[in-house]
Amino acid sequence: MISIKGLRKVFTSENKELTAVDDLTLDIKEGEIFGVIGYSGAGKSTFIRLLNRLEEPSSGNVVIDKQEITALKANELRTARQDIGMIFQHFNLLWSRTVEDNIAFPLEIAGVPKAERVNRVQELIRLVGLSGREKAYPSQLSGGQKQRVGIARALANNPKVLLCDEATSALDPETTNAILDLLVDINQNLGLTIILITHEMHVIRKICHRVAVMEQGKIVEQGDVLEVFTHPKEKVTKKFVAQVMGSDEHDQSEELYYLIENFKKGKLIRLHFLGETTNQTLISQLAKNFPVDINILQGKITQTQAGGYGTLVIQFSGDSSEIEKAIQFIQKETSVEVEVIKDAK
């Protein structure tokens, strides 16, 4: 659906060059929600503006639905942008226009007849949950309502791609979740490809299928969200995962470090649950089948679009041979990953 090759953007100021996006290559599948995460200054907002040429690339090319965006002339680009909706962190609404007039604006530019515009606007107002607010002005709306207007406006011309530049970072957590739920509904019901830029890992966790991590203008890691959560490779990725999982870059919280240092008996085990395994009654099975004592010390679970991911730290104590049998049972009979943190023999 979207193919990006060798994309680069260099800004020049006072005879100094700043490379904001550096040789970025990426493929995004049709109908997926693809997240791009990075800290401030990573180049992610410049990247997303290069996709519809709100910023002109220094080099490289972008192909969306078999059309090379970077090769289009000005009049061709105006037409192509109708297939690329965009929503912004600070809404970018027209403050002198009502909700329905804001949504109708791109339809006016596209030359859509008035009767058709009216029907389309009402359809979009229902879709984003703004019925009854048609005549309100932006100053009369909450942050979440403003972003719903922004989403409706971005969808006005039935785009194939929706670009979201920090679309929830100006919103409170409850409103953020509501907007993310709306984006998921749009993705599923309209089959829309969504590219979402953020610095918040819980946004990636909640709605994205795949993710790319940006640092200093480059993509340093990418993959399925669940895989990135469970096996982060880069230091920056581990920091983002820690936002959600509550662990530091070495995956050892202060509590766990204390447990390790003071562990004197048996085996200290960390279990990694993926997808459907998060619903398994594993501890109950172990207690019934093996004469060992099991003490649950620490646990965390989170949900992604691809399923759940969780860790559980437990203490096994008792006969060493029975402990080994219990561990072998987990390894052979389940898909739960086992990590022995400490063996206090």
Give the domain ranges of the chain: 2-243, 254-344
Topology, domain 2-243: Rossmann fold (3.40.50)
Structure tokens at 236: 């920056």
Q: What is the pLDDT of residues 110-158, one digit of tens each?
A: 999 999 999 999 999 999 999 999 999 999 999 999 999 999 999 999 9
* SS3 category, 32: coil
Q: Is the pTM of this model over 0.85?
A: no
Q: What number of other Cβ atoms are within 10 A of residue 234's Cβ?
A: 13
**In angstroms, rounded to a whole number, what is the distance separating the alpha carbons of residues 329 and 118?**
64
Structure tokens at 32: 């997926």
What's the confidence (pLDDT) of residue 251? 46
Residues in the chain with pLDDT values less than 70: 245-257, 275-280, 345
Q: Quick one: which of 271, 272, 291, 268 has its CA closest to 343?
A: 268
Backbone phi and psi for residue 55, each to the nearest 5 degrees, phi listed first:
-120, 135
Q: What is the pLDDT of residues 247-257, one digit of tens each?
A: 544 444 566 66
Structure tokens at 93: 């609404």
Q: What is the pLDDT of residues 219-249, one digit of tens each?
A: 999 999 988 888 889 999 988 887 776 554 4
Backbone phi and psi for residue 193, each to the nearest 5 degrees, phi listed first:
-80, 125
- What's the chain's Rg over C-alpha atoms? 25
CATH 3.30.70.260 is held by the domain 254-344: yes
Quick one: 306 exposed, middle or buried, by C-beta within 10 A (0-12, 13-18, 19+)? middle
